[in-house]
Structure 1
């Protein structure tokens, strides 16, 4: 056993030297956990920001002017007064995301208690911005009318108090930054391990391994620990330096616990990369197979869309993916400060899925080595 562990260690060190000699992969690793995390977190926002608003003010009253002045930056650009005849043409041209139509005698009807109607036209091309922005505008109009006409404000039978836990400012960058690191772990784990095997085959060094006193299991284990180590170090540095310090995203839970869960996750996802590499014969084929696998794991793991919104059959199928359980435990640890007593079901699922992937990958890898020999 000691000799086997020593061989795995030496083979893993060889993998690290091979990775260092490949500048493209080194640049990819650095970019993925630095620039990619920062740019996506600061650029891909779900909040309404700098939305263009048109105002059709047919009342020209103090109340309508108050509503217009309440649409402030950074949520909205300065509102632009337009005529009702311009609405369709302006929205078709994409000039405005929202158009607020204030009818004639709006203030007079509001004072008289006749419940006038304001129409909000929304460009729902960008659904999240449209939905959130429409909610903002409705809230702003309601507040301004209630402040200007307190006698007409109806008293709600129930007072609703909302508390936002774990992200009190509802800042999407807090979510996007952490999920970008999690998704990049999956991306690089599959690419690095698969590329390592394809590189051996394309460079002809796979034959050298066959004549060495090593087993296919040892070769695969060396590739897994070497590439997994690189990813764990890069992800930890990205989480602490880019996410926590540069982007000022608070990490609620234990980073060492997250790192330990990441190591367990990499055991399964790196085996998946080797499994895909045994099917492909060239780097081009490997890339074509990897793309749909990564897209499915990225979109359906719960990191971009909630699992609850998926059909029941699809949600059950995604339970077989290790990324689904890793995203769940990463969110629990890093957002909600969960401990081992909460995330142990996800850890157990990762262990079972990882063992299945590793066994299947080892079987395929052994057959691939025998075919190459």
Structure 2
């Protein structure tokens, strides 16, 4: 049985070593602050202050109605340009969108004829181009329909689908991105910190000191697991409260205590993975390569980036042995949908089983490497 005093003092030693490592401290602070904010807001879900130029060859009330609909904050004020200026502006990158309204636009609309507008999109601005083109099409269709129906006309179709977006009514992508980034960083840093703690012992020569002390590999491993897991747990808690909830304004629906309990079970598994990588690698560069090879599949295939249902069946089955799969499921269930323990208990049980397996395997490997 491990002696609690040994585990406590060894863990405190790990925390002091981490505080004296400026590179690791910088990584922790950045990962749970600016990285989360940048990841959540880097790709806008709607066009924002997109530059647009309009060639209005009709100069009619119908064309003016279209220009008036292009408003902030989605678009900058439309610039009226000539044909030659439209092409030159696109080539120079001054406009993301250019709209050409042909002559006779209003007349053809009132005559019931099909009218074609030319919309040019600068696809090098991929985030704006992808969402902005659809946004512009929706504006054009709605304004043309309102112009033709006239004031007071309903223009309702025979069948109308009423869409209700649950848990994220405004479909704000940053809500999902911010929480998913916290989940990814919990996994990444827990593996890095525990693996680096073991590598640090070997590089600094303190592993020999531990071998002659009255401590066991079990106590050494427990100390690294609880100390590095505690650092990640505190950092993720502060990130969710200060960055995700307050800074980004993401509402957190469920029990925060239940989420922290699930995070601790996940950290039990991932810190054990970090110990295993620390026994395999002989230097920090080797540890980094091992983490890259492991972390990218864990993040991409766990269901945090894309739904698991869209993956091949054998990939879904394989990823059930990964702790990140169950952590993503319980995190999204608790924080987004307000799920209770009666809903997420299978994920809790799976994390406990996976963590126990990883811990046992890593402990066996640590004993061999120390011996």
TM-score under structure 2 length normalisation:
0.90
CA distance in 2 between partners of 1:108 and 1:25 (Å): 67
CA distance in 1 between partners of 2:223 and 2:128 (Å): 47
Distance 1:335 1:158, change over 3 A: same
CA contact (8 A) 1:38 1:242 kept: yes
> What are the residue-to-residue correspondences of 1:90-101 with 2, within 5 Å?
90-101=89-100
**Which residue pairs with 2:214 in the alignment?**
213
Distance 1:128 1:307, change over 3 A: farther
Cα deviation, residue 91, structure 1: 4.0
> What are the residue-to-residue correspondences of 1:5-16 with 2, within 5 Å?
5-16=4-15
> What are the residue-to-residue correspondences of 1:221-300 with 2, within 5 Å?
221-300=222-301
Cα deviation, residue 288, structure 1: 2.3
CA contact (8 A) 1:47 1:172 kept: no
Range that drifts further, 198-207 or 271-280: 271-280
Distance 1:23 1:128, change over 3 A: closer
Range that drifts further, 331-340 or 41-50: 41-50
CA contact (8 A) 1:71 1:78 kept: yes
Matched, 1:307 2:308: yes
Range that drifts further, 350-359 or 217-226: 350-359
For structure 2, the 5+ residue unaligned runs are none
CA distance in 1 between partners of 2:341 and 2:124 (Å): 42
**Which residue pairs with 2:138 in the alignment?**
139
Cα deviation, residue 338, structure 1: 0.9
Cα deviation, residue 254, structure 1: 0.8
CA distance in 1 between partners of 2:114 and 2:134 (Å): 19
Cα deviation, residue 98, structure 1: 2.6
Cα deviation, residue 156, structure 1: 1.6
CA distance in 2 between partners of 1:7 and 1:241 (Å): 34
CA contact (8 A) 1:301 1:327 kept: yes
Cα deviation, residue 337, structure 1: 0.8
**Which residue pairs with 1:20 in the alignment?**
19
CA distance in 2 between partners of 1:289 and 1:92 (Å): 44
Provide the alpha-carbon RMSD of the alignment: 2.4
Distance 1:246 1:287, change over 3 A: same
Cα deviation, residue 202, structure 1: 0.4
Distance 1:355 1:155, change over 3 A: same
What secondary structure sits across from 1:149 in the alignment?
A: helix
Range that drifts further, 215-224 or 56-65: 56-65
Distance 1:312 1:129, change over 3 A: farther
CA distance in 2 between partners of 1:47 and 1:360 (Å): 47
Range that drifts further, 15-24 or 34-43: 34-43
* 1:222-281 Cα deviation digits (max 9, x unpaired): 111110011111111111122212322211111111100000000111111111111110
Distance 1:154 1:44, change over 3 A: closer
**Which residue pairs with 1:354 in the alignment?**
355
Cα deviation, residue 340, structure 1: 1.1
What secondary structure sits across from 1:175 in the alignment?
A: helix
CA distance in 2 between partners of 1:292 and 1:72 (Å): 46
> What are the residue-to-residue correspondences of 1:97-112 with 2, within 5 Å?
97-112=96-111
CA distance in 1 between partners of 2:67 and 2:58 (Å): 12
**Which residue pairs with 2:346 in the alignment?**
345
What secondary structure sits across from 1:101 in the alignment?
A: strand
CA contact (8 A) 2:44 2:127 kept: no
Range that drifts further, 348-357 or 181-190: 348-357
Range that drifts further, 305-314 or 246-255: 305-314
Cα deviation, residue 159, structure 1: 1.4
**Which residue pairs with 2:202 in the alignment?**
201
**Which residue pairs with 2:40 in the alignment?**
41
* 1:75-98 Cα deviation digits (max 9, x unpaired): 112223344456665445444333
> What are the residue-to-residue correspondences of 1:319-338 with 2, within 5 Å?
319-338=320-339
Cα deviation, residue 333, structure 1: 0.8
CA distance in 2 between partners of 1:94 and 1:308 (Å): 40
Distance 1:86 1:308, change over 3 A: farther
CA distance in 1 between partners of 2:77 and 2:369 (Å): 64
Matched, 1:185 2:186: yes
CA contact (8 A) 2:44 2:128 kept: no
CA distance in 2 between partners of 1:284 and 1:198 (Å): 10
CA contact (8 A) 1:146 1:153 kept: no
* 1:295-319 Cα deviation digits (max 9, x unpaired): 3333333333333443444344333
CA distance in 1 between partners of 2:90 and 2:290 (Å): 41
CA contact (8 A) 2:98 2:121 kept: yes
